[in-house]
């Protein structure tokens, strides 16, 4: 997916691009579920403006309009990393903790809840510490 943004600052080897998130997109059914970078439109400055920091691979300058490409799989990958895997870990660790507690003659419900929370937290912390393997947005051209 490609959209335009305005370079508002250049800091070392990075640019800060200002974009506007539209409240709804009628041109694509998939964009309505996106809600992140899928609907950029630089027309006015209001509460829907947001900034994104990217490497300055094109030597853009302040005031340049640039085209940014956002990989389609980015949203799905980010959603699974931040939500899907911790929830899955919660369910697996909770089930394991329940079974383990029942075998010891303890309250399975309490151990299931605590085990699930610990599993989700450990999984989330592990995911945050590992190297970033997601394909990030990148500038592909400076508009004339």
Place of tokens 């899907």: 84
- 16 beta partners: 9, 53
Arithmetic mean of pLDDT over the chain: 79
Q: Measuring CA to CA, how many Å separate 134 from each of 17, 23, 28, 111, 143? A: 20, 26, 24, 34, 26
- The pLDDT tens digits of the residues spanning 102-138 come to 999 888 899 999 999 999 999 999 988 887 766 678 7
Q: Is the dihedral of CA 95, 99, 104, 107 positive or negative?
A: positive
Burial of 99 (0-12, 13-18, 19+ CB in 10 A): middle
Q: Rg of the Cα trace of the chain?
A: 21
Domains of the chain: which residue ranges?
2-70, 75-129
**pTM summary value:** 0.55
Instruction: Assess whether pLDDT exceeds 80 at residue 99.
Output: yes
Contact 143, 67 (CB under 8 A): yes
Higher pLDDT, 60 or 134: 60
Predicted local confidence at residue 21, as pLDDT = 66
Provide the percentage of residues in the chain whose pLDDT is more than 90. 26
Six token digits for residue 123: 């999984």
If you average pLDDT over residues 80-107, what whole number do you get? 92
If you average pLDDT over residues 30-39, what whole number do you get? 48
Six token digits for residue 12: 């070392």
Higher pLDDT, 52 or 133: 52
Higher pLDDT, 107 or 96: 96
Higher pLDDT, 114 or 39: 114
DSSP result, 1-23: -EEEEEEEEEETTEEEEEEEB-S
If you average pLDDT over residues 72-97, what whole number do you get? 88
Instruction: Assess whether pLDDT exceeds 90 at residue 93.
Output: yes
Residue 41's pLDDT band, with cuts at 50, 70 and 90, is very low
Residue 135 CA to residue 129 CA, distance in Å, equals 17
């Amino acid at each position: 997916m490609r959209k335009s943004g305005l370079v508002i600052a250049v800091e070392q080897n990075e640019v800060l691009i200002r974009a506007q998130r539209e409240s709804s997109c009628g041109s694509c059914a998939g964009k309505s579920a996106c809600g992140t970078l899928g609907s950029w439109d630089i027309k006015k400055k209001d509460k829907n403006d947001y900034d994104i920091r990217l490497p300055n691979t094109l030597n853009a300058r302040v005031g340049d309009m640039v085209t940014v490409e956002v990989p389609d799989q980015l949203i799905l990958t980010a959603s699974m990393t931040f939500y899907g895997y911790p929830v899955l870990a919660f369910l697996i660790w909770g089930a394991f903790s329940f079974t383990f507690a029942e075998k010891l003659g303890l309250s399975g419900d309490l151990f299931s809840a605590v085990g699930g929370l610990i599993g989700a937290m450990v999984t989330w912390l592990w995911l945050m510490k590992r190297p970033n393997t997601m394909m990030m947005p990148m500038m592909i051209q400076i508009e004339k």
